[in-house]
Amino acid sequence: MTPVRSSVVLRMCDKIGNFVHLLVTFLSSFAVAFAQQNSCVMKSTYSSNVPENVAAGMAMGTVIVLLFCGYSLGISYDAKLILEKGYTCTGAQVMNVIFVVLIGLLASGQASPSMREFAGGQAAVYKILETINREPKIDAYSTTGRKLDDIQGDIEFISVYFSYLALPWSNEKIFSVLACHTKWYNCCMHLFRATDWPIWDFENWIS
Residues 83-110 have pLDDT tens digits of 777 777 777 777 777 777 777 777 776 7
Residue 206's pLDDT is 46
Q: What share of the chain is helix, strand, coil (3-state, %, to 5)?
A: 65, 15, 20
Do residues 192 and 203 lie in contact, with contact meaning Cβ atoms separated by under 8 Å?
A: no
**Quick check: 126 pLDDT over 80?**
yes
Rounded distance, CA 49 to CA 187, Å?
Answer: 71
Question: What is the enclosing helix (H) or strand (E) of 179?
Answer: strand 178-186
Residue 145's pLDDT is 74
Rounded to 5°, the CA angle 100-105-109 comes to 150
**Share above pLDDT 90 across residues of the chain, in percent, rounded to a whole number:** 0
Q: In what side-by-side order are the strands of the sheet with 178-186?
A: 153-160, 178-186, 191-194, 197-198
**Backbone angles phi and psi of 155, in degrees to 5:** -140, 140
pLDDT digits (tens, 9 = 90+) for 63-72: 778 777 777 7
| pLDDT bracket for residue 140 (50, 70, 90) | confident
Give, to the nearest 10 degrees, the angle between helix 91-133 and helix 3-80. 120
Rounded distance, CA 102 to CA 74, Å?
Answer: 10
